[in-house]
A and B are shown apart, each in its own frame.
Chain A
Amino acid sequence: MKEYIDTGKKDTRSGFGAGLTELGKSNPNVVALCADLTGSLKMDDFKANHPERFFQVGIAEANMIGLAAGLTIGGKIPFTGTFANFSTGRVYDQIRQSVAYSHKNVKICASHAGLTLGEDGATHQILEDIGLMKMLPGMTVINPCDYNQTKAATIAIADHHGPVYLRFGRPSVPNFTLADEPFVIGKAITLTHGQDVTIVATGHLVWEALEAAKTLAEQGISAEVINMHTIKPLDTVCLLESVAKTGCVVTAEEHNYLGGLGESVARELSQNNPAPQEFVATQDTFGESGTPAQLMEKYGLNAAAIVAKAQKVISRK
């Protein structure tokens, strides 16, 4: 089984900040907006280097989305930055009408998604954002797995014309994808090849899936781990090819099992290749305060949970 090396833990939000810094140099049409969380979103570099292209909007997210929609008229490519909760649920109608329905080229960049926001608790730990965003017609939804991939995704979405939701997070997690690996929207990456079970993971759960695959290998179970960084459009070719081989699937995401990656996978399989599926996801619940590791353990979002679900789904074949 292919080994992946953690080159040092980094936060995905810093990957976003680094990507935005690159875009500041390479694409004069890129502008950035932030709702009083510049440091948290790692947008300081862009702000310092391009003050004329950085818009501090204050604690006013609805206006931020509208401003971004307007900035596209004139050819700008706005990147909005705030926490995932305030990037989606708080401004759903603004995104729906002024961005998605109006097909504006806005990149909604959302940090602190999911439980791993940690101690701030459930008010800030949105676990519904993937669902909210993927239901909007024309919206692309991306949840990269580590620093390098978040940086690459940030750069890639500037070249995609249309609204994008880019989801990332706060904690430091293993950085294991290659720095020069190109990011292709909608093209999943098969990280390990296996015969017994497909593990489709997104975001922070991708590393956990790789850890799970190692444990499963020790038990004689060969797992195929897919990094489904783009939830919409879903790479159905990659998914169906893998499940045709393995006959079962575990989906893993830091999100509610309602509305997330797992549901997208289930819908695709139900139509084209019904197969047993288990969900590593939160079970229609809010989060709570705690350290990221404690929360991922309590809510069953780690390698051990993936191993257990893999064993279960194989038994259902």
Chain B
Amino acid sequence: MPNINALEDLVIQVRRDILRQVHKVNSGHPGGSLGCAEFFVALFQEIMHRNDGFDMNGHGEDLFFLSNGHISPVFYSVLARSGYFPVEELNTFRLLNSRLQGHPTTHEGLPGVRVASGSLGQGISVATGAALAKKLNQDTQLVYTLCGDGELQEGQNWEAIMYAASNHVDNLIVTVDYNGQQIDGSLDDVLSLGNLRAKFEAFGWLVIDIKDGNDLSSVIAGLKSAQEHTGKGKPICVLMHTVMGNGVDFMMHTHAWHGKAPNDDQLAMALAQNPETLGDY
């Protein structure tokens, strides 16, 4: 069993990392990042089998692709705190000559990143390709990807969703950050996804719900359930219901903090709600 308390401490520290990164450069995307803190901690600390160090080909280990690249602050924080690069490097987020670009990229060689993302809708395709390569290589490890719910408005996703089911890519787990918000407002106001579960199921996927995607134990349980369903002929979709801005009361339940950084006072309030646990970078 995981030490939930230790992981909870890490979640809080990751929230601080997110807030401090975006505050320093007065840009970036805190809302979605905060909403996925539990997911990233669970995935990298409990769920994925990861080799030491970083090798692009990732033979014999699970792979992760971030499709909604704008939530880079949470990705960078958890990568750093999982040992891929020094946590001090979080100080360079979005700065000139940094490996921590606004959106994640392989271009500067940041360990842990396997493809650039930011232009939305491409991650499921790439993850599916990597899953096909694993099958060719008789590598039984899994491929994970995270995409935003709003991102599913991009048509390429549905090409990939159709392909993965049709070709029984059953070593693939796609998690949807189902927070119901996007830049211009709620998903239902901008462009409704309708019944997302029914859509994935109609395409031939097995769908698992994580009803509280900001409850660490629920996320771990949901992802473990997803793991158990791999290898049975269907790709797995995890609909992870999250709250954008989770953990900072004034950032929650709104799209207002999708792409806006807190000012000094707001940062102080947000950090006060998330006291330092493992040490700031």
Contact = CB atoms under 8 A, between A and B. Distances in A.
Indicate, yes or no, whether A interacts with B: yes
Interface of A: 31, 52-53, 55, 57-58, 60, 62-63, 65-76, 78, 93-94, 96-98, 101-104
Contacts of B131: 70
B256 interface: no
B57 A70 contact: no
- 8 pairs of A and B residues whose beta carbons are closest in the complex: A70-B129, A66-B125, A74-B133, A63-B159, A60-B159, A67-B129, A70-B130, A62-B156
Given A62-B156, A104-B115, A98 B139 contact: no
Nearest to A29: B136
A75 B137 CA distance: 9
B179 interface: no
25 contacts: A53-B136, A57-B159, A62-B121, A62-B122, A63-B128, A66-B122, A66-B126, A66-B129, A66-B156, A70-B125, A71-B129, A71-B130, A71-B133, A72-B129, A73-B115, A73-B129, A74-B57, A75-B57, A75-B59, A96-B119, A101-B107, A102-B106, A102-B115, A103-B106, A103-B107
B136 A65 contact: no
Nearest to B121: A62
Nearest to A67: B129
B176 to A, nearest CB: 17
Contacts of A94: 122, 125, 156
B117 interface: yes
Contacts of A76: 133, 136
Main secondary structure of the interface of A (DSSP, over half): helix
B118 A65 contact: no
Given A62-B155, A70-B130, 14 more contacts: A55-B132, A62-B125, A62-B156, A66-B123, A66-B126, A66-B160, A70-B127, A72-B129, A73-B129, A78-B129, A98-B116, A98-B122, A98-B125, A101-B105
Contacts of A57: 159, 163
Contact of B139 (A68, A74, A101, A103): A74
B134 interface: yes
Interface string B100-124: 0000011100000011111101111
Contacts of A101: 105-107, 116
Nearest to A68: B129
B58 interface: yes
Interface string B55-93: 011110001010000000000000000000000000000
Contacts of B159: 57-58, 60, 62-63
Contacts of A70: 65, 115, 125-133
A72 B72 CA distance: 23
Interface string B133-171: 110110100000000000000011001101100110000
A290 B134 CA distance: 46
Nearest to A53: B136
A95 B130 CA distance: 16
Contacts of A71: 129-130, 132-133
Contacts of B123: 66
A101 B130 CA distance: 17
B112 to A, nearest CB: 13
B131 to A, nearest CB: 7
A73 B58 contact: yes
A102 B156 contact: no
Given A63-B163, A103-B107, A97 B119 contact: yes
A97 B132 contact: no
Contacts of A93: 119
A93 B119 CA distance: 8
B162 A58 contact: yes
A258 B57 CA distance: 39
B84 to A, nearest CB: 16
A62 B123 CA distance: 11
A195 B117 CA distance: 51
B134 A74 contact: yes
A98 B132 contact: no
Contacts of B127: 70
Contacts of A69: 115, 125-126, 129
Contact of A31 (B57, B59, B136): B136
B139 A102 contact: no
B237 to A, nearest CB: 16
Nearest to B124: A66
A98 B115 contact: yes
A69 B162 CA distance: 18
Nearest to A104: B115
